[in-house]
Amino acid sequence: MSAFDRFDEARPTEPLSTARAFVRGGEGEAVAWGQQRLTDLGFDVGHIDGTFGERTEAGVAAIAEGAEPQGRDAMQAILMATVAPEASSGWRWPLPGAPSAPITSPFCWRQGRHHDGIDISASRGAAVGASRAGTVIHAGVAGGYGNLVVVGHGQVGNLGRVHSYYAHLLRVRVRDRQSIGALHRLGDVDNTGNSFGDHLHFEIRIKCSAGQAFTGTAVNPCKFLTRC
């Protein structure tokens, strides 16, 4: 079984522009932010000087869990290492009728592109539920995502505004700006957009702009879902 999707070129702009500074010799406020976080976590990065040097990279490598200690992965590792416990708890498995559905593609680099969510294999028509209460901020077609619902969850812990994405749906059962509770049925599993095989593509983005889909930074949903 190969549930494999690929986003098209029309997909939203690079959400992690600041990650460009997270390479050896990179500089800027974002790097200083990362150095401060690493220091808070107990790593000795030397001076917080906004330059991504050897010691900063070593600090990232220590928390990156196998990811590249530079670039986008570095930013990701630092962000996730500093998530407050109250922000990562309370998220529900988005396929309430399929509690043991397998994850067929993890959050990872895949053939030279980053897969920004997880793919969960499920039957066509299976109910897709909101992982957390919130407000619908996108309900309809969106390029490679096919039929997509994006739910805004407001400020969550220290993550800023958090949005969750439910892609490749057969049918969208909610409308823009609708308020919904956790596990409210958003739509049904299908294979729309750039997708091969019926599955749910589930994504979580943090530090998003209010009410605007396709903003923020994708993070590993398995840091939030206890079932993963």
* Residues in contact with Zn ion by the rule CB under 5 A: 5, 119, 201
The CB-of-129 to Zn ion minimum distance in angstroms stands at 18
The CB-of-67 to Zn ion minimum distance in angstroms stands at 18
The CB-of-119 to Zn ion minimum distance in angstroms stands at 4
The CB-of-201 to Zn ion minimum distance in angstroms stands at 3
Q: Which is nearer to Zn ion, 119 or 190 (CB)?
A: 119
Sequence-distant (≥ 6) Cβ neighbours of residue 9 within 8 angstroms: none
The residue sitting closest to Zn ion, measured at its beta carbon, is 201
Q: Which is nearer to Zn ion, 52 or 165 (CB)?
A: 165
Tokens of 166: 């439910």
Q: Which is nearer to Zn ion, 5 or 57 (CB)?
A: 5
